[in-house]
Chains A and B, each alone.
Chain A
Amino acid sequence: MFSPFITQASSVRAIMFKVLLALVPGIALYIWHFGPAILVSITLASLTALATEAAMLKLRRRPIFPFLSDNSALLTAWLLALSIPPLAPWWLIVVGTMFAISISKHLYGGLGNNPFNPAMVGYAVLIISFPSYMTHWSSPRWLDQLHLTFVEQLQFIFAGQLPSNVTMDALSMATPLDNLKTQLHVGHPLSDILNMPIYSQLAGHGSEMVAIGFVLGGLYLLSNRIISWHLPTSFLVTLFITAGAFHLYDPTHYVEPLFHWFSGAAMLGAFFILTDPVTSPTTTRGKLIFAAGAGFLTYVIRVFGGFPDGVAFATLLMNICVPLIDIYTQPKVFGKKDSK
């Protein structure tokens, strides 16, 4: 026995559980606006994540229970499920989750050792391998459009069957962010585009409310000191400044910064993805630099890149830089701050 003989009752499991809990308001609003299909993908992802985690632990000859119960695999599963369209064949989320857990987590050494955010790696694999499935998003249920019943959704997810005379294109739409880029590309003026029914006060109808749900969860995490303010603040401020600068330069072509805050995965990224402790820097200055880089890259990829959103690739690109950022941002220690 060695000192300290006492420890505070905190655990990885409890931390991860609180992060899962913080996702609940966003998921609830997601269901409210887009229907219950997201619960199917979250369930599929969770089961796949736990099974893959257990299999990998067994292959790696690690104790299964302590790691399986740490909630980290579940968190990866939920984040990935929230990043892809819920109305998609069942194997899409299963393949993405299996890749995230086995390749990008366990092959690098498991919990605590993965350099890249596993959920974002899963997302990147899916969007590169199956781009067509990744752009079919459901529309909010009060938009005047065709909607499936929950049973019909299940039939599509598990059997690939749509009701007769219904095509996928009629059911789905591009995300507000993706739609904006496409419409601008074909030459429509910004003011006309934003008058389209899928847009609302801040950004997209429904999706902006989900983003607000993630903000609420993020504030819960901040108040519980699960995450530090540096990452979300630096990310959102940089995204705002970058978007604001372009907007001021040409307001007819570049949408205002609040749109970027409340569309796509900006809020999910700010409070739940960038804040993954394993794949973000440990120093205070490092966190600010890392998140600022991610904010800037998110904007650049969204506006000038070919993908519907930029958060995932911005996160992965900045993940690469973490060891370097950590080394160059080491703070001075107690008593050595003024030493020359």
Chain B
Amino acid sequence: MRTLYHFNGGVHPPSHKAESTSMPIAQAGLPSRLIVPLHQHAGNTAKPTVKVGDRVLKGQLFGMPEGSVSSAVHAPTSGTVSAIDMQIVAHPSGLPDLCVTLIPDGLDEWSPRNHTNYLTTPPEELRMMLRLSGLVGLGGAVFPSDLKLRPGKHKIKTLVLNGAECEPYITCDDMLMRERADEIILGTEMMRFMLDADEVLIGIEDNKPEAIAAMQKAVVSHSFNAMEVISVPTIYPGGGAKQLIRVLTGIEVAAGVRSVDLGVQCFNVATAYSAHRAIEHGEPLISRIVTVTGNVSHPQNFEVLIGTPVHELIALAGAKSDTNGHIMGGPMMGVALPSDQVAVTKATNCIIESSLKLFPSPLPELPCIRCTRCVEVCPAELQPQDLYWFAKAKNFGKAQEFNLFDCIECGACSYICPSNIPLVQYYRFAKSEIWANERGKESSNLARERHEFHLARIERDKREKAEKLAQKEKLARAAKAAAGNAETDPIESLRAQVREIAHPEAEHSKE
């Protein structure tokens, strides 16, 4: 038996997972149209590579990664691009973002796909391949995977594969592990190859015995070295990357620290699966498994094309009339969707249809009585009641001093609070105020710099004018004195002057 480590706190909300695991993963099929956002990942929006009216093939690029932190976006099926415009996306703000709308032609015709033998391909090339396949973390953070597959300053000892899936209701990873364990294991081995990691630890919460058995069977059948499936205790948020790394390796990855620098990297099982599809079959990330559950008549997991409108997906599970909202993600960290017209993205692991029966309205907020139940459950070992106090008083400096930014917003504190205080909301508010302040500071600094530079330039222009005048007079005198002497080239000396004038400005703009 491997010794497991412990992290502070955690809660045990009712799991509600059984509802959506009685049926195998179903294919959601082709929707009437696909709305594919160009910004589905952490980092920069992908740069569109298609025009309205283009006929595209399945897997064809919709957008190229722009800048170092970015990822590619692809056509989920073959069809015609009908619009490239701003549409409401799956974000609680309800703000529109740039999307490509595709009308499927029903042929589902693939663009050319290539198989790659990863063992004979340099890791750098594999990473580029994943970047162009649009592979991002499917656990919810949607960070470009190619960047996480770069070895850090130190040798990577452990690759952690996250199959914990601790949030209630969500079962997409569970079902993927039950049904497609082989491909997950093969993808994991590819990731290990890229990272040159010594061991692979696959953490799965002990409330998923079928998934554990399937993954164990797959590991045994492939007989990869030092790859182990480990059953971890079921506790929320045990599936957070930091928490799972802690449980499996004992390492605590502090806020702002990259886990690779501590010799460990962590990926979600679905990311490993999609990495395998990309390298082995040349298929970019155009679909994912989504749990559709909550207030529906047949809760189930579906393999869904990215861009599928949420309402068409919900219809497959049997929408109910008393539904009062749509949650993307789990009930602990998920977001309320602004509408069911938005599309499934790479981050959509679960859609929970909410009703007053499932999620009653919150009770009135009472004052904090400092009972410290929130301290007991906080996996980041913060003092949530102090952070609440500071956030409420808008004492943001103190909130930062008390490690506000170490908060992972898991919601355990809000869940447990006997005074019904929406604590996480206060932390989000404090964080966004601090960010806004910093941006304000930055822009005012910029404005001041600009103003100072403007004054300096006026000053310099004056000085230069005077110098130029002096120079002219000097030149004129020299010309008079050395009339007929052709050795000095007037054009060359003018160029030198220009260079001198241009020089300080060039220096400044570099800063």
Contacts and interface: CB of A to CB of B under 8 A. Distances in A.
Contacts of A332: 381
A334 B370 CA distance: 21
Given A7-B420, A110-B367, A112-B369, 7 more contacts: A3-B424, A6-B13, A66-B366, A111-B367, A113-B367, A282-B385, A339-B254
Interface stretch (B144-152, B326-334, B437-445, B487-495): B326-334
Nearest to A72: B369
19 contacts: A1-B354, A2-B336, A6-B168, A6-B331, A6-B332, A7-B417, A8-B416, A12-B419, A72-B369, A282-B385, A282-B386, A333-B381, A333-B406, A334-B7, A334-B8, A334-B242, A334-B380, A334-B406, A339-B254
Interface in B249-286: 252-255, 257
B383 A10 contact: no
Contacts of A5: 327, 331-332, 334, 354, 359
A294 B52 CA distance: 76
B214 to A, nearest CB: 29
A2 B367 contact: no
Interface in A1-57: 1-8, 10-12, 14-15
Interface of A: 1-8, 10-12, 14-15, 63, 66-67, 70, 72, 109-113, 228, 277-278, 280, 282-283, 326, 330-337, 339
Contacts of A280: 370
Contacts of B329: 3
Contact of A3 (B334, B386, B403, B416): B334
Contact of B370 (A4, A63, A67, A277): A277
Interface string B143-171: 00000000000000000000000001000
Interface string B398-422: 0000110010000100111111101
B379 interface: yes
Contacts of B416: 7-8, 10
Interface of B: 7-8, 11, 13-14, 92, 168, 242, 246, 252-255, 257, 325, 327, 329, 331-336, 354, 359, 362-364, 366-373, 375, 379-383, 385-386, 402-403, 406, 411, 414-420, 422, 424-425, 428
Contacts of A335: 242, 252-255, 257, 406
- Grouping DSSP codes into helix (H, G, I), strand (E, B) and loop, the A interface class, with mixed when no group exceeds half, is loop
A12 B369 contact: yes
B252 A4 contact: no
B207 to A, nearest CB: 17
A278 B402 contact: no
B168 to A, nearest CB: 7
A8 B13 contact: yes
